[in-house]
A and B are shown apart, each in its own frame.
Chain A
Amino acid sequence: MERVPVLKIGDILLVSIQDDMEDQVALQLQEDLADRIVATGSHGVIIDISALDIVDSFVGRTLATIAGVSKVLDAETVVVGMRPAVAITLVELGLSLPGIRTALNVELGMEMLARQRAAEEDLGIDEGEDDEPAVTVP
């Protein structure tokens, strides 16, 4: 069985799906990504589907599961490169991919992850500063 390669670029794992995947290949990708997130401590996953000419409910569900599993493992997933015809078909099929973040291409996806990471770090510091007085004042 073929496997979809998972590339590590800095803090991000990048997956570019090139072929029409068999269902088993999609399930394998789900497991491989979870393993790689834990092994590398990556905080972001980008899945490029620009080469896919269809996304059916199985692939849609796999993407949603990957996003959910990544989240639990402290990584954000962004699906990038969806073709316009695929978007139209997905919505008509009834699959709106709830919980999946999307960007138009890999570059914008990386920017999105970087922005989010920065915002989370800011928020973390702010919360810390705000929380301390709130706890000590009363």
Chain B
Amino acid sequence: MITGSGSAAGEQITVASDQDVVRVRQLVRTLAVAVKLSLVDQTKIVTAASELARNTLVYGGGGTVAVSRVENGRRAGIRIVFADEGPGIPDLDLALTDGYTTGGGLGLGLSGARRLVDEFDIDTAVGRGTTISVTKWCR
């Protein structure tokens, strides 16, 4: 659960399988509709969540995804925090480069997801894990 300034209590999903990635998409979609994101923005945040949840599973070895509603003055939004205790990312700049992958994918997950959201914060340390927080605001 996420609490704190301007954010309502959220829901958390443990990500340990493909099925959990589907559950993350469904939860994010439900909340994106509830905060009244536009259809395109709903699609963007659900897609970003899918990429990042899969990263949590594939690279982080599983972890948690917390989804919450946030408020900023008159605007509502949705914030999603992906946390794992995996190997961490040694070279963040490289990992954020389009087309770079260590997992045999397209290398678009991290860089692409960043383009689809309004705020993107990443905290990673080798051997400790990775936490990524993304926010999408209503226009």
Contact partner of B47 (CB less than 8 A), chosen from A21, A54, A61, is: A54
Cβ B106 vs Cβ A53 within 8 A: no
Decide if A88 is an interface residue (CB 8 Å cutoff).
Answer: yes
Interface pick from B5-13, B37-45, B59-67: B37-45
Decide if A93 is an interface residue (CB 8 Å cutoff).
Answer: yes
Cβ B105 vs Cβ A89 within 8 A: no
Measured CB to CB, the closest approach of chain B to A96, in angstroms, equals 11
Question: 17 extra interchain contacts, Cβ-Cβ under 8 A, other than A58-B50, A89-B40?
Answer: A23-B54, A24-B18, A54-B25, A57-B109, A58-B54, A83-B43, A84-B40, A85-B39, A85-B42, A85-B43, A88-B40, A92-B112, A93-B51, A93-B108, A93-B112, A94-B111, A94-B112
Q: Which B residues lie within 8 Å of A93 (CB)?
A: 47, 51, 108, 112-113, 115-116
Cβ A61 vs Cβ B29 within 8 A: no
Cβ A23 vs Cβ B42 within 8 A: no
Contact partner of A54 (CB less than 8 A), chosen from B50, B108, B111, B112, is: B50
Nearest A residue to B26 via CB reads A20
Chain A, 16-36, CB within 8 A of any chain B CB:
20-24
Decide if B98 is an interface residue (CB 8 Å cutoff).
Answer: yes
> A interface vs B, CB < 8 Å?
20-24, 53-58, 60-61, 83-86, 88-89, 92-95
Contact partner of A56 (CB less than 8 A), chosen from B29, B42, B51, B115, is: B51
Contact partner of B108 (CB less than 8 A), chosen from A22, A24, A84, A94, is: A94
Measured CB to CB, the closest approach of chain B to A39, in angstroms, equals 27
